[in-house]
Structure 1
Amino acid sequence: MTVTKFMQKGFTLLELLVVIAIIGILSSIVLVSYNGYADKARLARTLQWASSVNHLIGSEAVGVWTLEDLTGGLAKDDSGFNSNCSVVGSGLSAVQGVVNNSVNFAGSGYLNCVNPSNLQIVGNMTLTFWAKPSNVASPSRQNPICKAYGGEFCLTMEPGGSLSYFHGSCGGNCSPYIGWGL
């Protein structure tokens, strides 16, 4: 009498579950690192766009404030027109930004660029800026860029997270704004 041994072919349920668990762990690690790369790619595209705008405008720029240096209470204008802005109030500090330094507005401080002739709007204009709002508390609004409020133009971050822009004379009544959601 001979005993035939059958060879077992295939995997046990436990082995399959272990493989599935390992694949799940590896895919979660890849997914977490992918999200970081997606954010970096989005930021790189924005940096490239900002750089192309700066190169396109080139010598036509009438005001360029990189906010690299606030020494002497001034934000220096790099356009060559020397339209330096003075630091007014308190709560402004230089911090590490995405590209070089930036300014943290954490109090009542602001930058005052007065009204030099090269900043008076006489035609089309291009305006670029980077902002990372951490707190726009209701009911207040914040004006990251405003030239003679109620006058030439004002860019406003609203408490609800939208961005508004006003251009022209409003005669004391600055509504309605043109609004964009952020």
Structure 2
Amino acid sequence: MRQPAMLGFTLLELLVGIAVIGLLASIALAGSNILRDRARIAGARQFSSSIKNMMLPVAEWNFEEPSGNIAYDSSGTKNDGTLINSPARVANNVLGGTALQFDRLVSKYVAVPNSPSLNPTTAFTIEAWVKPTSIASGTNFNIVAKHDVAAKLGYRMFLGGYGPGNNQFSCTVGDGNIRTEAGGVFF
């Protein structure tokens, strides 16, 4: 007499199946986190673009130049900057573009000549995308600065290192009489 075929799985087959499913799930989760981050950045870029279109910027540096020592102003006001001490151009981890990498070992920055368009007399907005890797305690890193500290005049956006968990993103604005702290977010 013929024996009926066995319907089922061995324990080994079940364990291999579970391991394969776990491996596929971990790959999918890692990929979804990257995609989620990219979606957040894309949403922020879209919001930034809509603000830019409404407010007509007086300066915008995308740092999209493939080489050279000029950061071209794409706003149309010709507030082009000169790269000082060769900040590195990087493309990895920047959605849809490039960036400049600055360090404090050698003072690297973009110098922009004075221009009437950079001296606002009414309300203004400064926006910058930064990704600090570390901030030493007791140090400040200017992101945007056009100021005279002694005269309490101008504006500055900066990161301050005050220890782990106490790093601060701030802005100051001065009219020649008073210097005002315009923000302070700790991270």
Assess if the C-alpha contact under 8 Å between 2:90 and 2:101 holds in 1: yes
2:167 aligned with 1:161: yes
Displacement of 1:8 after TM fit?
6.3
2:174–2:180 CA contact under 8 A, matched in 1: no
- Secondary structure at 1:39 match in 2: helix
Counterparts in 2 of 1:147 and 1:53: CA distance versus 1, 3 Å: same
Aligned to 1:41: 39
| 1:179 aligned partner | 184
Aligned residues: 175
Q: Deviations over 1:80-124 (max 9, x none)?
A: 222223334x24233334333322223212222243211112111
- Higher mean C-alpha deviation, range 162-171 or range 136-145: 162-171
- Larger Rg over CA atoms: 1
Aligned-partner Cα distance in 1 for 2:124–2:70: 24
Identity, % of aligned positions:
28
Question: Counterpart of 1:67 in 2: which secondary structure?
Answer: coil
- Gaps of at least 5 residues in structure 1 are none
In the alignment, is the contact (CA less than 8 A) between 1:63 and 1:81 conserved in 2?
yes
The alpha carbon displacement at 1:166 in A equals 0.9
Q: Where is the helix percentage greater, Structure 1 or Structure 2?
A: 1
* CA displacement 1:137-175 (0-9 Å, x = unmatched): 222110111111432211111224321111124779x68
The two structures, once aligned, show a CA RMSD in angstroms of 3.0
Q: Secondary structure at the match of 1:152?
A: strand
Unmatched tracts of structure 2, length 5 or more = none
1:102 to 78, 82, 99: 99
TM-score by length of 1: 0.77
C-alpha contact 1:91 1:108 (8 A) present in aligned 2: no
Paired letter, 1:165: C
Distance 1:21 1:171, change over 3 A: same
